[in-house]
Structure 1
Amino acid sequence: MALIGKWWWRFKTKTTSLWVKVISSIYGSSGGLLLDDSFRIDSYKSVWNEILKTGNNFNALGLPFRSFFVKDLGDGEATSFWKDVWIGNEVLKDKFKRLSRFDNDINASVKDRVIWDGAKGAGNWSWAREPFERAKDELEGLTKLISGAVLHPEKKDAWRWALGTNGLFTTKALTDMINSGLLTSSDSNCETLRNKLVPKKVEVFVWRARKLRLPVLVELDKRGIDLHSVRCPLCDEDIETVNNSLILCKHVFAVWSKVFDWWGRGGIPFINVGDLFLDTGRANSYRRKIIWQAVGWVCSYLIWKNRNQKVLTNKSWNVPITLNEIQVKSFEWIAKRCKSQVIDWHNWIYNPQIFI
């Protein structure tokens, strides 16, 4: 989502590029990125159409994606008065809904609608009819708001990314915002779990797995994707569900058996992902519980990663190599984040029970 969202930034800032001119000729000067251009999303089937739909995906997470693009005013000529975020933190069309309907030109620029005398801004209105009732009240609020506008006639308008410290778009900042939106999404049947000893990407994976939102073959088939088979790509003995891909497949179960042997534990106590991610072993303190839970989360994350490599690149499934990767990655992530206890490599490999 973050990488696709970056194309919004590129469209807004690479105005002289040929591809931007092509998109503008099809979708209009705004490229279909403005809220009132949403009708175009269903009118065209193209790669750019999918990029536009990303805005709706951000809305679904409660992230005001469009408001992250802010105009730094110069002369106001390239900034839409009603449709761009240029004063305050939202577009004036949304803040003054009734009043915007009275304007003769909803696409008017800031330069068209604001008179700058060097000290403060004043309205330069062009009404289709004179505002009345509530619209008149909105006009008073708008007039007061734009009196604080500052224009710089000597320079051109420019875009600024609100999440960036230097005003430039960064995929990392947007990714962090997306992860925050994912992990705080509420679901009455699936409480969000957190573990401070694993990276955010592992937490997101756990959230997706518990909600059965991993792209296993059965789920892809439900969505109408034409597949040769929905049987497990590792064992070919059962259909591939989330539970099968992370626990029940005999090749995956063999990995879990090795992990439990490594930690000196008995039989595997779970058969579904709900119990898997809640398992805290026999630990008797919060610190020890989250260490074992983190090991389980890392193990399931790497099992899924290796499953994908098998499906996408036909890489052979190797239990010892997978176990070794789990040992290395779990140590790397957990030891780095565990502030209350020193975790050394030798004990982690040969005597990990002391940590739980």
Structure 2
Amino acid sequence: MFTKLLDDKILQNSFLTNETARNNFLLQKIGIFIWRSKLQRIPVCVELDKRGVDLDTILCPVFKTETETVEHALLLCSTAKDLWERVFKWWNVRSSQYSGLCDMFNGIIPGTNTNIRSKLWQAIEWVGGYMLWRNRNLKAFEKKELDRSDDIQ
């Protein structure tokens, strides 16, 4: 009921979507995170700066080399690129087929129209994005990093 209210009343004028993101395979908080990411509403440095939050820098808090935007945090950062390269290789998908964040998180595998396969692909994309965000926050605020297995080929 709450998501229906959001869809009908609050999001009706959204330029990206008029629905919150949903995938029945995943926890609702991951769908909400992806929905907020597509709307540029996660607290990256550039967005915080636009809202008047006093920051020392708008550079990526992890590597401090580039401006931190939503696309940087979830697609362009070296950690994100490494993750997506491995996922694309695992699923035999060409990464060049995605033009940006919304295109990436839409759950459509180029060249397939199988509903269950697309839903699984979407779940992998969304969990990957969510875990990148968690890892970024652990590095930035707690100086920790999620355990990572380097034996994945």
TM-score by length of 2: 0.82
Matched, 1:228 2:59: no
- What is the match of residue 188 of structure 1? 14
Aligned equivalents of 2:64, 2:96: Cα separation in 1: 22
Alignment match, 2:68: 240
- The answer as to 2:117 corresponding to 1:288 is yes
Q: How far apart, CA to CA, are the structure 2 residues paired with 1:182 and 1:236?
A: 36
* 1:140-179 equivalence runs, <5 A: none
1:213 aligns with 2:41: yes
CA contact (8 A) 1:179 1:200 kept: no
**Structure 2 equivalent of residue 259 of structure 1:** 87
Q: 1:250 to 1:232 in 2, by over 3 A?
A: same
Deviation at 1:259?
A: 1.4
Structure 1 letter corresponding to 2:15: N
Instruction: Please point out which of 25, 28, 36 is paired with 1:200.
Output: 28
Contact 2:107 2:119 in 1 (8 A): no
1:183: Cα distance to partner? 5.5
Q: How does 1:342-353 map to 2 (within 5 A)?
A: none
- Map Cα deviations across residues 171-217 of structure 1 (whole Å, 9 max, x no partner): xxxxxx76665465423312123222211111111111111000001
Give 1:232 deviation, angstroms.
1.0
Q: Residue type matched to 2:14 in 1?
A: S
Aligned-residue sequence identity (percent) comes to 34
Kept in 2: contact 1:183–1:204 (CA 8 A) = no
Equivalent position of 1:341 in the other structure: none
Distance 1:214 1:247 in 2: 14
TM-score, normalised to structure 1, is 0.38
In structure 1, C-alpha distance between the alignment counterparts of 2:101 and 2:60, rounded to whole Å: 17
Q: 1:67-146 maps to which residues of 2 (within 5 A)?
A: none
Higher relative contact order (CA 8 A, sep 6+): 2
Structure 2: which 5+ residue stretches go unaligned?
none
Alignment length (residue pairs): 148
CA displacement, residues 132-158 of structure 1 (integer Å, 9 cap, x when unaligned): xxxxxxxxxxxxxxxxxxxxxxxxxxx
Q: Which runs of 5+ in 1 are unaligned?
A: 1-176, 325-348, 351-356
Read off the aligned partner of 1:300 and give its amino acid letter: G
Work out the CA distance in 2 between the residues paired with 1:249 and 1:271: 15
Q: CA deviation at 1:267?
A: 3.0
SS at match of 2:141: helix
Q: 1:253 to 1:317 in 2, by over 3 A?
A: farther
Q: Residue by residue, what CA displacement relative to the aligned partner does 1:279-327 show, whole Å, maximum 9, x if unpaired? A: 4113331121111111111111111111111111011476x34x89xxx
Asked whether the equivalents of residues 234 and 251 of structure 1 are also in contact (C-alpha less than 8 Å), the reply is no
SS of the equivalent of 1:278 reads: coil
Question: Which residue does 2:104 correspond to in 1?
Answer: 276
Deviations 1:74-96 (A, max 9, x none): xxxxxxxxxxxxxxxxxxxxxxx
1:303 aligns with 2:140: no
- For residue 250 of structure 1, report the CA deviation from its aligned partner: 1.7
User: What value does the CA root-mean-square deviation take over the aligned residues?
Assistant: 2.6
Cα distance in 1, alignment partners of residues 4 and 131 from structure 2? 22
- Structure 1: how far apart are the matches of 2:7 and 2:77? 28
Corresponding letter in the other structure for 1:253? K
Provide the secondary structure at the position in 2 that maps to 1:237. coil
Distance in 2, matches of 1:188 and 1:280, equals 21
Residue 141 of structure 1 corresponds to: none
